[in-house]
Structure 1
Amino acid sequence: MNLNLRNAIISNVQGNNQQELQETILDAIQSGEEKMLPGLGVLFEVIWQNSSNDDKQEMLTTLEQALSK
């Protein structure tokens, strides 16, 4: 069986509204389960690919600041 995890994750949330997406993200973070990390990674990839250069720079600044604490 050839399962593409990235496509499965995208398919699972495709068509969700903002509230549903937020619930998915919060559930993944709050559960603390490492099995949720690939899903968050795919969602971040979608955000990154659909962001402007300014938005990408803002994300990088936020990450840098959060990781330097």
Structure 2
Amino acid sequence: MNLDLRKAVIHNVSGDTQKQLEDTIVDAIQRGEEKMLPGLGVLFEVIWNNADANEKKMMLETLEHGLKQA
């Protein structure tokens, strides 16, 4: 089966409200299931591709800080 994961994830959430998107993200993180990681990666890719330079810098700083706390 030829499945385009990016297209499938985007299709599944494309009409969601901000609250629904938040619920999806929180649920995926709370479940801690490995199979959810690719979907979260697709969502992050969408965020990254639509962020400006300042937003990307903020995300990288947040990521760096969070990894130091892990």
The two structures have a TM-score, normalised by structure 1, of 0.96
Q: Say which structure, 1 or 2, has more relative contact order (CA 8 Å, 6+ apart).
A: 2
Unaligned 5+ runs, structure 2: none
**Partner-residue secondary structure (3-state), 1:37:** helix
- How many percent of aligned residue pairs carry the same amino acid? 62
For residues 11-54 of structure 1, give each alpha carbon's deviation from its aligned partner in whole angstroms, at most 9, with x where no partner exists: 00001000100010011000010000000000000000000100
Unaligned 5+ runs, structure 1: none
For 1:61, the equivalent position in structure 2 comes to 61
Question: Over the residues paired in the alignment, what is the CA RMSD in angstroms?
Answer: 0.6
The two structures have a TM-score, normalised by structure 2, of 0.95
* 4+ long deviations beyond 2 Å: none
